Amino acid sequence: MKLPILLVLLIPAFAAAQLDIDVRAEAALLINADTGAILYEKNADLPLYPASITKIATALYTLEKASEKLSETVTISSNAIASISSKAREKSNYTVSPHWIEVGGSHIGLKAGEEVTLETLLYGLMLSSGNDAANALAEYVGEGSMNRFIEEMNAYLRSLGCTQTNFLSAHGHHHPDHITCARDMAIMARVGLKNPHFRKIVSTVTYKRPDTNKQKATTLVQTNKLLRKSSPYYYERAIGVKTGHGSEAKDALVAAAEWKGRTLIAVLMRSEKRQYNFEDAAKLFELAFNQPKLSKTIVAKGPQRYSLKLEGASSTLG
């Protein structure tokens, strides 16, 4: 009787043991974006306010629905740029529209009637954290309805495995019911980095915004200081993705880095200072990139004769 021949290959892999580090964020997660292995976690399922890292989801869903239409022009509505003060929103007990952008919040100065491409809006969303850009994208993808966009985006996020996420706006201004967790944000970032448009946008440091029928050309600058060479927090292996800040959310960061064929994603939420997130993300990346290599055994197609578990890896993401 002929015995089946098992083809076995040994390829390099990397240890996935929990890293020995204490980050200052209230919640954190570090994953290998290629394998989904969780390398570090701290309160990763704790529901928290995300502030502007919400815009990762907005960009992700926009690209899911309109990645072939980035050169298409959007006409900005007055509804997309309607505003309210944070005090007035709080005083209303959050009964006013969650879509209204807050006075003094980040924006790219969109004006009613302005004609802007989807591509420019995405850069304004992810580099300058434009709340007005978020609403403009939501209106476009929602075919005139931001409520429709949010409903569809939440359903899309659930389909990805984001079970703790409930978003009420495309920009992330505070609302008691607008929540997510570090694990869900890592899932979003991991999916986003598989999209070449998303990956290009979030790794861009400056973007020359073209002139429009309402504004002169300007330059948009990345808020993620891990990407900016002039910043004391510059990290040469960083490739994205988004910062967030709010009085209730405090400081949040979703960051990604790539080195020697590996891509890592770090999520840090509710830090007391923005600089802590930049510093701790870089430390997490460095520790993980310097983990020792292991051997990983791959078999050819057919019945699997054994199982393999990376030492120290308690689980994977998604």
Which residues form the catalytic set?
52, 55, 129
The distance in angstroms from the start CA to the end CA of the chain is: 42
Give dist(CA 215, CA 83) in Å, integer.
20
How large is the C-alpha radius of gyration of the chain? 21
Please enumerate in sequence order all residues whose Cβ is within 8 A of that of 71, keeping only pairs 6 or more positions apart, or say none. 117, 118, 119
Q: Which phi and psi (to 5°) does residue 217 adopt? A: -65, 140
- Beta bridge partners, 8, equal 299
Q: How do beta strands 38-42 and 8-14 pair?
A: unpaired
Alpha-helical regions (H) of the chain: 54-66, 86-91, 118-126, 131-141, 146-160, 182-192, 196-202, 274-289
Contact (CB, 8 A) for 279 and 25: no
Give dist(CA 283, CA 132) in Å, integer.
34
Give me the torsion for CA of 220, 225, 231, 236, rounded to 10°: -110
Residues constituting the chain: 318
Q: Which tokens is 210 given?
A: 């073209």
Burial label, 148 (beta-carbon count in 10 A; 0-12, 13-18, 19+): middle
